[in-house]
A and B are shown apart, each in its own frame.
Chain A
Amino acid sequence: MADEPVREWNDEQLKSDDLPKKDLIKFIQDNAAHSFLNEHRLLGNIKNVAKTAKKEQLIVAYNELFASNRFKGTEPVEEVTKQVKAVKIDEKPKEVKVEVVDEGPPKFTKATLKKGDKTNFPKKGNTVSCWYTGTLEDGTVFDTNIPSAARKKKQTKPLSFKVGMGRVIRGWDEGLLTMSKGETARLEIEPEWAYGKKGLPESKIPPNAKLIFEVELVAVD
């Protein structure tokens, strides 16, 4: 059994601006057990995780790791697999309503997290702009365009495209047409209306993957 990892940084160093988030994430990803990473939402491409996780969160996770000794190899595989299967994404704030869109067999569901203005609904052909984060069922963040607070200098614009024209995956086309300006919703899209049997291997989307997007509709033109 490998030696237990050693603390690389003390509290002062952790809080210091000299320590970039990416280094901290890498350390934790390298040393923590899979289920630990999952619970703390630290799975996936380091850049994406850096966008969605705050420094404070990471410091908490780092300390947790040493407190609980949940390092790599401390949990038998079956246990980990069972835990991964049992993990739910449960940290979302008050869900207002769950809409099952009925078009034959439903291929996506929408849960509104923040209400929109309920007046400006996009029509097919309108240009919409949105911020989004995309995750797989196991919590891995595979894509996002939200600039994290620290990187405000990097100019990032919301994603703009013409909706309802087949330019994006069907789950998005259908889902966004039901949203109003200002609304934030969670779209859970079945693979048939996402990337189907092929997936997108270079973007970490496996075949037959159900995709979960948190989308904020910022503008409708």
Chain B
Amino acid sequence: MALDQFCDVVQRCQALQADSYTTEDHDVFMIAGRSCIEEGHSAQMLSIVLDDTNQELVRCMGWNLLPPLVQVLLKKDDKNLPHCLAIFNHLLETCRPKELLIGLLEQLEQEEPVAIAESLHLLLKPLQRVLLRLGSRKASSLGMALSSALEQVAKLPVPHTKEQEEDDIFLLGRCCSDLTAFVKPFVQEAERELCKGDSKASASSKKSAKLDGVSLDQEELRTELLKFCMSTLCRPLLEVQLNDPDALALSPLRDLATDILNNLNAIGESTTSLVYQPLSKRKEAAGFLEEEVRYPKESLASLAHLVFVHHLAADTFPCVFNPVFCLRCNMDHVSLLLSRSADLKIQKGLELYEKCLVRVEDNSLPSELLQMKTFLTVPQNLTKVMTICPRHDLRRKGLKVFQLSIDKFNLEAKYNFFKFMLKTSHHSGVEGYIIKNIRSQIDLALRPGNANIWFEGFRLPPLLQLVFTLADGPETDLLQYLDRIMEALNLLRYLIIRDKVTENKTGIWTALYKIEDVFLKPLRVGINMSRAHYERELSTTTTENKNNVKETSVISVSVGDEKLPSMTSESQIQALHSALHTFDMMESVLVRIEELTEVKSSI
């Protein structure tokens, strides 16, 4: 039935010119033709489609047959496959490229991962053929094809372990290889034209070369390829943990990454200037996309990570740059990655930061760097990672990198950095850590031969002023500020022991009366008040427990829709004991300080 209808419309149209085909002709051709293929009449279809007298018709309407043909080709073991493949290939050569493109791109859209991977694998090569037929006007069509392909790839689950990457059950690896092969001829074309353009430009003036119509097409082509590379850098590359060759010898994902870097170099966007972009003013890109759209920040961060942590395309990267310059440029990328919530992006930010820091000598970074905004935002982002990131290993790594960054600053920079952190971190644990660092620096400065002007002498008291404070005076919540207060007390005790009254290298003996006023006295009061309060709480709770009186709480805490059970009396009592113990600990250090002060002052 369908075959008859199809033969009818073909015969009828043989006599007509292409512009006389009616809408009905189009519809019948499409509907009957599709049914024929679905019903398996592929042999007859093939002979009709190949017939010389039908070529005008095929060129005009043939592309409508793509959907059922592709379905057959995807089934792979269908007996109609050879004929359908022949029809398919003929259509690719005969029909209008733009229409074929639309038809093929429609077939790319799938929902299931396996279907996505299979249709990409099948259709990328035909798409390539069709695009190459477009000649110099291919740029926007290429762009469309690339963004559709990437959209599909973005739907595939990414591997989380080396084993998953090896197994590649969702075929992301194969898709990456397919993409690499797909884009190759276009990159090569862009590269060739760029070389030609360069040699022309060096012969005549650069301006005249730009006005050339052909160059405009090439500019568009390069722009589309740049868009593709930038997109790929974000997804999937930024969202995947790449394995190095010694961990995983064969990795299509890593190959894709390397390929992208080489492609960028080939189209005239050297990886060197892309990585170092934040600090250099890039020349205005002639027209198509604005700077930030053209070079999305996340893509650049991903690029930096690939170059500096994975050393991909290392042979194209010059070994002449100053490690401090390298660090300065990467701070932008680190800041961005650390500000994201995705664990993997945070991890990459930490890795990139660490890699840059290690290349710099200890005690070498000058204080001027702290005038750069990123040198302040990075520690702030790092603080968030260290304190609230759910993953324990990232918190730990964050702390390690934080200390590493401190070690690289020179003395003046350390001094200013400590001041900055004490003023802005608003987190007791971090402040405590900084105070511990201050103590190390003072200790170093006091050793013979290390005297410096930052951690002893007249500059020290202003810094210490920031250390010996209580946020709310005597009413300060001592438990909340425990870390900070304990470190401050430890520092004070250290200074009193270490610095002789007669020498007063650290200025502590002159500052002591003020510290007593502003810090020690309110602290003593605070401890007494808190202790009294908690002791009362303890006795109340113990009594209630004995009498089995359950106090209904006015507050409840729920996590993820589940209400947490209220603390049992036993836990409450335990917590209260622990609080009291803490106050005892604080007080013991206070007392010790007083003892030492008396002893030393009386000498």
Instruction: State the A residues within 8 Å of B (CB).
Output: 45, 47-48, 132, 134, 142-143, 145, 152-155, 157, 159, 162, 166-170, 172, 195-198, 200, 202-203, 205, 213
Q: Is A48 in contact with B320, judged by CB distance below 8 angstroms?
A: no
Q: Is B321 in contact with A145, judged by CB distance below 8 angstroms?
A: no
* Residues of the B chain whose Cβ atoms lie less than 8 Å from the Cβ of A202: 311, 314
* Residues of the B chain whose Cβ atoms lie less than 8 Å from the Cβ of A203: 314, 319
* Residues of the B chain whose Cβ atoms lie less than 8 Å from the Cβ of A200: 319, 359
- How many contacts A-B (CB < 8 Å)? 61
Identify the interface centre among B311, B318, B360: most chain A CB within 10 Å of its CB: B318
Q: Is B325 in contact with A198, judged by CB distance below 8 angstroms?
A: no
Q: Is A172 in contact with B320, judged by CB distance below 8 angstroms?
A: yes
Asked if B215 CB lies within 8 Å of chain A CBs, one says: no
Measured in the bound complex, the distance between the Cα atoms of B180 and A110 in whole Å is 45
Considering the complex, give the chain A residue whose CB is closest to the CB of B280.
A162
Considering the complex, give the chain B residue whose CB is closest to the CB of A143.
B319
- Interface size classification for chain B: 20 to 34
Q: Say whether, besides A196-B361, A200-B359, A47 and B320 are in contact (CB < 8 Å).
A: no
Asked if B477 CB lies within 8 Å of chain A CBs, one says: no
Interface string of B525-564 (1 = CB under 8 A from A): 0000000000000000000000000000000000000000
Sample (5) of A-B pairs whose CB atoms are under 8 Å apart: A45-B315, A143-B318, A152-B195, A155-B268, A166-B322
Q: Is A167 in contact with B314, judged by CB distance below 8 angstroms?
A: no
Q: Is A145 in contact with B318, judged by CB distance below 8 angstroms?
A: yes
Q: Is A155 in contact with B320, judged by CB distance below 8 angstroms?
A: no
Considering the complex, give the chain A residue whose CB is closest to the CB of B198.
A155
Q: Is A167 in contact with B321, judged by CB distance below 8 angstroms?
A: yes
Q: Is B320 in contact with A134, judged by CB distance below 8 angstroms?
A: yes
Instruction: State the B residues within 8 Å of A (CB).
Output: 191-192, 194-195, 198, 266, 268, 270, 272, 276, 280, 311, 314-315, 318-325, 358-361
Q: Is B324 in contact with A159, judged by CB distance below 8 angstroms?
A: no
* Residues of the A chain whose Cβ atoms lie less than 8 Å from the Cβ of B359: 198, 200
* Residues of the B chain whose Cβ atoms lie less than 8 Å from the Cβ of A48: 315
* Residues of the A chain whose Cβ atoms lie less than 8 Å from the Cβ of B276: 167
Q: Is B191 in contact with A157, judged by CB distance below 8 angstroms?
A: no
Measured in the bound complex, the distance between the Cα atoms of B272 and A154 in whole Å is 17
* Residues of the A chain whose Cβ atoms lie less than 8 Å from the Cβ of B268: 155
Q: Is A155 in contact with B191, judged by CB distance below 8 angstroms?
A: yes
Measured in the bound complex, the distance between the Cα atoms of B359 and A152 in whole Å is 34
9 shortest A-B CB distances, which residue pairs?
Answer: A143-B319, A155-B195, A203-B319, A167-B325, A202-B311, A168-B320, A47-B315, A155-B194, A166-B322
Q: Say whether, besides A155-B198, A198-B358, A205 and B319 are in contact (CB < 8 Å).
A: yes
Contact of A143 among B198, B320, B360 (CB under 8 A): B320
List 6 other contacts, CB 8 Å, given A45-B315, A154-B266, A169-B322.
A153-B192, A153-B195, A155-B268, A168-B322, A169-B321, A198-B358
Measured in the bound complex, the distance between the Cα atoms of B191 and A41 in whole Å is 31
